[in-house]
Amino acid sequence: MMTKNINIPPPKEPDEDLKRVCSDLKALRESRGIALNDLFQITRISPDNLEAIENGDFHLLPPPVYTKAFIKKYAQIIGDDSKKILDHYERYLKTLKAPYEKEEVEKPPITTYYKKPFLIFSLIIMAGIVIFFISSYYKTGVNIPQHQSSKAVPFTPDVKPAEATNPQMQAKSEVAAQASAEASYHLSIEAKELTWLRIGEGQNSPYEVLLQPGKKIERRAPSFVIDIGNAGGVNVKFQGSPLSSLGKPGQVVHLKLP
């Protein structure tokens, strides 16, 4: 199953300093005679992402770990320092969290002044009910039975004699256990280009990897959920068979295996 990355909503209005930094980047690239298509051929970063970096449209770019690698690679190729635009990108990421933090701060506290009297009233009613039943029980003349201690009963495992002594039954159990242990799948990912990955294995929490060109990872798990930041930059094999047509260079895709 494959899905494209969902873009984050844009900020209200980019500041003037960001516009100036982006304009300087574009002017430097053009002064060196480097076209966007030339950058794409060198870095394999899609023209759409390159144009978003030059325009300061951070909301159109992939996840942060991948976008930061794009910005550094872009600045390196045109011969500029990436610190200024990276600082603007970090401030942009902080603005995405600010509305939610403010909402948490301004949330009115839950009033609990009524809880204590209600709890006391409930305890009084429960105590009255218990006293009523105890008094009624004694008035009937019925003796309350004393607690009788019992001897400990030894634990007896639920194993049939035929299963415990039959070698054929034991062999079948061992084969079934081995088959269950081997019910995992083999995944192999080899990077042709710099690629960001997020991998979830079975019920475990996902982890992130920035895979360098020529590097390879191999994993075994009952199932996999994978986000690939550069679909055209990796070769993926599942159970020894290659998966083809994952997507274009720079495209973010989502895989669920098996």
Q: What is the DSSP string of 194-227?
A: -EEEEEEETTSPPEEEEEPTT-EEEEEES-EEEE
Per-residue model confidence (pLDDT) at position 28? 92
**Sequence-ordered alpha helix ranges (H) in 12-159:** 16-31, 36-43, 47-55, 64-78, 83-106, 115-139
Write down the pLDDT at residue 1.
41
Looking at this protein, which amino acid is placed at residue 185? Y
Distance CA 217, CA 209 (A): 10
Residue 9 included in any domain: no
| Mean pLDDT for the stretch of residues 49-70 | 92
- pLDDT digit string (tens) for 174-226? 655 554 445 689 999 999 988 888 999 988 999 998 889 999 999 999 999 99
**H/E run at residue 162:** helix 161-165
179 occurs within a structural domain: no
Alpha carbon distance 7, 67 (integer Å): 13
Domain boundary among 49, 74, 106: 106
Containing structural domain, residue 35: 16-106
Query: Does the pLDDT value for residue 163 go beyond 50?
Result: no
Q: Which is it for strands 207-211 and 216-221: parallel, antiparallel or unpaired?
A: unpaired
Place of tokens 């951070």: 58
Q: Which has the higher per-residue pLDDT, 209 or 117?
A: 209
Q: Rounded to an integer, what distance in angstroms lies between the CA atom of residue 16 and that of residue 56?
A: 11
Domain end residue (candidates: 106, 131, 160): 106
Element (H, E) at 238: strand 234-238
In a domain, 144, yes or no: no
Residue 162 lies in a domain: no
Burial class (CB in 10 A: 0-12, 13-18, 19+), 249: middle
Q: Provide the pLDDT for residue 246.
A: 85
pTM for the full predicted model? 0.38
Q: What are phi and psi of 40, to 5 degrees?
A: -60, -45
CATH number at residue 47: 1.10.260.40
Q: What is the pLDDT of residues 62-99, one digit of tens each?
A: 999 999 999 999 989 988 888 989 998 999 999 887 55
Among 105-119, 139-153, 205-219, the range of highest mean pLDDT? 205-219
Report how many domains make up the chain.
2
What's the CA angle centered on 76, arms 195 and 229, to 5 degrees?
Answer: 15
Total length of the chain: 258
Report the side by side order of strands in the sheet with 185-191: 216-221, 185-191, 234-238, 241-243
Bridge-based pairing state of the strands 224-228 and 195-201? antiparallel
Who has greater pLDDT, 152 or 221? 221
From 76, 106, 136, give the residue that closes a domain.
Answer: 106
The answer, yes or no, to whether residue 169 has pLDDT greater than 80, is: no
Q: Using CA atoms, how far apart are residues 123 and 109, in angstroms rounded to an integer? A: 26
pLDDT band of residue 10 (cuts 50, 70, 90) is low
Judge whether 229 lies within some domain.
yes
**Is 118 among the domain residues?**
no
Under a CB-based contact definition with an 8 Å cutoff, are residues 172 and 211 in contact?
A: no
Amino acid (1-letter code) at residue 206: P
The answer to whether residue 99 is domain-embedded is yes
Average pLDDT on 1-19 reads 58
- Band of pLDDT at residue 116, cut at 50, 70 and 90: low
CA 257/CA 241 separation, integer angstroms: 13
**Residue at 93 is within a domain:** yes
Res 183: pLDDT: 64
